[in-house]
Amino acid sequence: MKGPIQSVEITYFLHATEDAEKVWSAVARLIGVETVPEYEDVEGHYGNPIRKVRVHLTQDSAGAAFGSVVGKMSPTVRSEMASQLDSIVDEHSALFLRFDKQALVSGSLVLRTGDSVRIKVKPRAFLLKGSARHFYEGLLAGGH
């Protein structure tokens, strides 16, 4: 049987002053899955160069990445996330996590909406069996 997670998408923006390798290494450690990111060069509001980084995982890789992220969350972060489920799950039952990019590079996992690493988690719809809140609470409680 396939796991409960259909896909995971990780995105973040790199500014010219940031070390791309340091940030990618931190993200790679977080998701614990061998993959290669896609890069897109974009322009900031003031014409400054920005690089958008994206990783899209499906099937077993998506489940493993989500499990790795949840496994690295402290009980405090899990509790904070669980209390926010109503605001971080969309109408399609996708879960949106945002972790502080600089804290991640420093080895900490901190929820943040600003300059963040965004992780979008899509569940297998047929496994929801009720509310998305209940589904994600179960995954958080079980560590995956």
Q: What is the CATH number of the domain that holds 102?
A: 3.30.1440.10
What is the rounded average pLDDT of the residues 28-49? 93
Indicate the helix (H) or strand (E) that contains 120: strand 116-123
**Rg, C-alpha atoms of the chain:** 15
Structurally, how many domains does the chain consist of? 1
For 42-65, how does the pLDDT look when each residue is reduced to its tens digit (9 = 90+)? Answer: 988 888 999 999 999 998 999 999
pLDDT for the residue 144:
47
Name residues whose C-beta falls within 8 Å of residue 62's C-beta, 6 or more positions apart in sequence.
3, 5, 6, 7, 8, 121, 122
Q: Which residue has the tokens 């963040």?
A: 116
Asked if residue 138 has pLDDT above 60, the reply is yes
Domain range for residue 43? Answer: 5-142
Do you know the residue count of the chain? Answer: 144
pLDDT of the residue at 142? 67
- Residue 10 host element (H or E): strand 5-15
